Amino acid sequence: MTLAINPIEVASFGISAGAVFGLLALGLVLIYRTTGVMNFGHWAIGLVAVVSYAWLTGEGMLPQAALPICLLLAMGAGVAAYRLVFKRIARSNQIIVILVAVGIAQFYSSLAALVLGFRPFTRLPPWLPMATLEVAGMRLRMSDVYTIGVGLAIAVGFFFWFRVSRSGQALRAVAQNREAAVLAGIDDVRYSSLAWAIGSGLAALALLIIMPHSAGQQGGLITTFDLTPLGTLLIPAFGAALVGGLVNLPMALVGGVFFGLTREFLVLAPAPWSELRTSVAAILIVVLLLLRTERFFATRQELEALEA
Amino acid sequence: MSILETKDLSITFGGISALDEVSINVEPGEIVGILGPNGAGKTTLFNVISGFLKSDQGKVILDGEEIQNLFPYERVAAGLARTFQHVKLFRNLTVYENLLVAQHRHLSSGSFAAMLRLPSWRKDEKLAKDLVEKMLDTINLRPWKDARPSELSYGTTRFLELASVLSLKPKILLLDEPASGIQQREVEALGPMLKGIRDETGCAIVLIEHDMGLLFSVSERVYALDFGRLIAEGTPDEVANDDRVLESYLGRTRRDSVA
Amino acid sequence: MSTAVETPEVPEQVIEAPSTVATKKNRRNQIIALGALAALGAVPIPFGDYGFFIGQYAAVYAMLGLSVTIVTGYAGLISLMPYTFAGLGAVMTGLIMTGWGWPFWLAAPMAALATLPVSLVVGMASVRLKTLYLAIATLTFSTALGETFFRWDLVTGGRIGWTVASPQLGPIDFGTDLNFYLLCLLVVLGLVWMTEGLRTSRLGRAMLAVRDNELEAQALGINVYKTKLAAFVLSGMMAGFGGAFLAVLLGNVSPGGYQSPVAEVTSILLVSLVVIGGIDRAWGAFFGAISLVVQSQVFQGARFFFPFFGMYSAFFLILFLLFRPGGLVQVSKITTELVKRRPVFGLAVVLVTVALNLGIAYIFIRAS
Ligand SMILES: Nc1ncnc2c1ncn2[C@@H]1O[C@H](COP(=O)(O)OP(=O)(O)OP(=O)(O)O)[C@@H](O)[C@H]1O
Ligand SMILES: [Mg+2]
């Protein structure tokens, strides 16, 4: 990739990366709010979709046809993790919850590596158009434009569904006050499963947006480097989620774009800084942690409910 | 000079005033009772005095020193100890170990001394064990010494908590409803026990209690709180017959039944 | 009617009666445990150099695991960066031994000390945070350090790394597999003994108290922040010290080995091995390291099964967390109790389990 100098080009990279972080963060926040689990296995569950995508397209399936199947598989992986494991742990025991989430991450990433047969890399054909667009002397990648579009569409659709539909409202009720929701006759296991399904689907979508479109015209690759339990991109996603105090959904998306833009504009910075993407994100995360952003987005009661 | 003095403590939670210019004072060796209906702000007062909550304004003076800006553990070091309304304790540790933890401030050896079993560690451990042994007898906890809090009756956990805070050798002890949830027999033992503790150690005691029999029998002076404000102060007899105190209880009952 | 919300209680952690009290009985237990560990250490001897190599691996991973025991097991803080601290120790060892020409015996304690500035900075920034936020912060720091320190040419000599010579003590050369194995074993036994000692001390008990209930700890005059920071720093030093042995074990130090994603993956492995071994007691790290390293070797021997090892260990991590949060230490305690109460049945269970395990290992190796 040539170094983009035009700030609008860089911004387009940044916003599209940000949309991906935002989708990851949205899933993290949704699952955390509803079930009190910070899902360290988020990336690994997304990998389930990526390796099935690699496998199905390798068998000759059309990428666009494989996509929904892969999303469903990841959703199944997430729901299985909730139903078989997280449902059985008292959420007040955060130490165990986090360690189990780490175990789930290890499990699914090993599964992914196994499915790919431990090859150093596997080709992933693109499912978004890969052409470049020339507008007023700027070169924009179509995949970025689509990514931003998909991210926006999902965000709008999601928030609309969350606010307006019956199941969305039930989900919000469970997230806000589990006990009261259960007393009101809402089946909290069902809606927690729904949150896991949606969250995992979002993770899968995020990974299926980046990975198959990362290497230019030919599509993309999945390497052993990507097959780790806690992917590097999980860090900006955590950062994005922290912008909304781990509880606020729209702010998580905003946070995603913020981290995406920071990351891409760093490329323009002088030498040592341009290589320190994760470190800069780390500093931002520490600042966010010390600001205790959750104060701004959740009441004391909600926070206590999340902990106990 | 008072051992504990609060000056105009005020705190609000989301617009609701939980403490409103509360000033109390406690003399050395005195037993002071605090009463008030549910939600009057009694626990909040303890939380502010012991440093678990920061007041919006006001001062806490312990033995002549202003302590309102100290951390809770620093206030313990200054001689202030408190119990919680709901028993906390360390659930994974035995009674004996709970009491060992409470000796923290009397010990001084470092981590490497313990890792290498140096003499300073040995001396510390011996001191800690001696203190715990004594406390086991003082509060009659010996039969349960290897039990975990979950295996004890609620009353016994209350006594364990009392033993823990007594281990701090405080100059003043704040007890939040020590008799709640325990058997009548144990309540009756509690009164003389508190007086005995005071007589032996000379430490002052401030007591929040809904059991009026206990409160009026051990306290030498009583404060009454309602809606975060002090509404009465005096001897148990004076406060028990104070119109405003009676009204606060009746009034609250009426409101509660509406709510 | 509200059964749907009720999640089953996580079983109470089994902690042996007063384990934080320096009683005679406790001291005797510690000696028995150390003796048992030493006896376990004799197992590789008939297997020759290959056995010693596996033994060295297990011992070094046990040292690194002890850092998790202190920070997570004792103080209840989840740190996802133990391997990063090990890397700091290893790199310092390479720098000191190869760069400055100092002997290993000075390099190892220096490696432990070298983690101090990092653990202090990371600790001060993040120890105040609650469990979840601390996990995120340490993960982030681990990745960020991989991107900075382990790339910093001044420290790392341009990313190529150094070969690390084996330690020498007078006429004794610890370059042979047997000698180095015995050294590692001795050191890990010493570290287990030290970590157990920490439990029966002012600071160690404060850590356990803070893990159990922060409010109560504060009410009893414990400085929660300082206690957590101390746990974090001690854990970092332990990992750094282990890192010195890791450097010798690997024979070279290349900073790239402590960058993302290797650092995170290995840190997770360390956490799992400690949980599986028993996170409450110091010998848990040793049990866990042996079981995981030996099993990974068995899997490696069986080429067909090796790809399943990651899933297999993750599966056991989750099983232990759900049903035996005290790990193998808890399992062995339950078994001892069973043998005491019903000797015949208990011993039969033990024998069948051992036979089953050996059988499975045999099938695995034959299948390849
Ligand atoms: N940390 C807090 N945040 C918000 N509100 C609080 C907090 N602590 C106490 N309150 C409120 O302050 C008021 C006083 O509470 P407090 O616990 O002090 O009452 P109390 O006198 O101890 O009552 P009880 O006899 O029931 O123990 C109550 O309305 C309570 O809801
Ligand atoms: Mg109260």
Of residues C306 and B220, more confidently modeled: B220
Tell me the C-alpha distance between C258 and C93, whole Å.
14
pTM of the model: 0.90
Specify whether B164 is located in the same domain as B179.
no
Q: Is pLDDT at B258 greater than 60 in this prediction? A: no
Domain at B147, CATH number: 3.40.50.300
What is the CA angle B36-B40-B44, rounded to 5? Answer: 115
Residue with CA nearest ligand 1 atom 12: B18
- pLDDT tier at C275, thresholds 50, 70, 90: very high
Looking at the fold, whether B62 and B108 belong to one and the same domain comes out as: no
B116, B141, B168: which is the final residue of a domain?
B168
Sort residue B216 into left (φ over 0), alpha (ψ -120 to 50) or beta. Answer: alpha
Asked whether residue B33 falls in the same domain as residue B56, the answer is yes
* pLDDT, tens only, A268-288: 887 777 778 888 888 898 888
Question: Based on the domain organization, do B110 and B145 belong to the same domain?
Answer: yes
Question: What pLDDT shows up at residue C10?
Answer: 35
Is C278 in CB contact (< 8 Å) with chain A? no
**Mean pLDDT of the C152-160 span:** 59
pLDDT over 70 for what percent of chain B? 96
Mean pLDDT in residue range B164-186: 92
For chain A, what is the mean pLDDT?
86
Q: Compute the distance between CA of residue A256 and CA of residue A45 in angstroms, rounded to an integer.
A: 19
Structural contact between residues B9 and B58, judged by C-beta atoms closer than 8 angstroms: yes
Quick one: CATH architecture of A7-307?
Orthogonal Bundle (1.10)
Are residues B257 and B143 part of one domain?
no
Give the model's pLDDT for residue B44: 94
Q: Are residues B107 and B223 in the same domain?
A: no
DSSP C157-201: TTTT-EE-PPPEETTEETTSHHHHHHHHHHHHHHHHHHHHHHHTS
A34-67: b (≥16 Cβ within 10 Å) or e: bbbbbbbbbbbbbbbbbbbbbbbbeeeeebeebb
Q: Are residues B177 and B252 in the same domain?
A: yes
Q: Do residues B255 and B188 both lie within one domain?
A: yes
User: Which pLDDT score is estimated for C160?
Assistant: 66
Instruction: Tell me whether residues A40 and C135 touch, CB distance under 8 A.
Output: yes
d(CA A192, CA A199): 10
One domain for residues B153 and B177? no
Which A residues 106-145 touch C at CB under 8 Å?
Answer: 106-107, 109-111, 113-114, 117-118
Indicate the residue of C7, C125, C307 with minimum beta-carbon distance to A88: C7
Number of domains in chain B: 2
Mean pLDDT of B246-256: 63
Q: Are residues B124 and B162 in the same domain?
A: yes
Mutation for A interface: C321, C323, C324, most A CBs within 10 A: C321
Of B168, B188, B214, the domain-final residue: B168
**Residue with the larger pLDDT of the pair B59 and C127:** B59
C-chain residues near B121 (CB < 8 A): 197, 201
The reply to whether B68 and B191 lie within a common domain is yes
Is a pLDDT exceeding 90 seen at residue A65? yes
- Pick from B168, B199, B232: which residue ends a domain? B168
**Confidence class of residue C153 from pLDDT cuts 50, 70 and 90?**
low
Q: Tell me the residue range of the domain where B123 lies.
A: 87-168
With an 8 Å Cβ cutoff, are B109 and C202 in contact?
A: yes
| B157-194 burial code (b ≥16 CB/10 A, e <16) | bbbbbbbbbbbbebbbbbbbbbbbebeeebbeebbebb
Find chain A residues with C-beta within 8 A of C12's C-beta: none
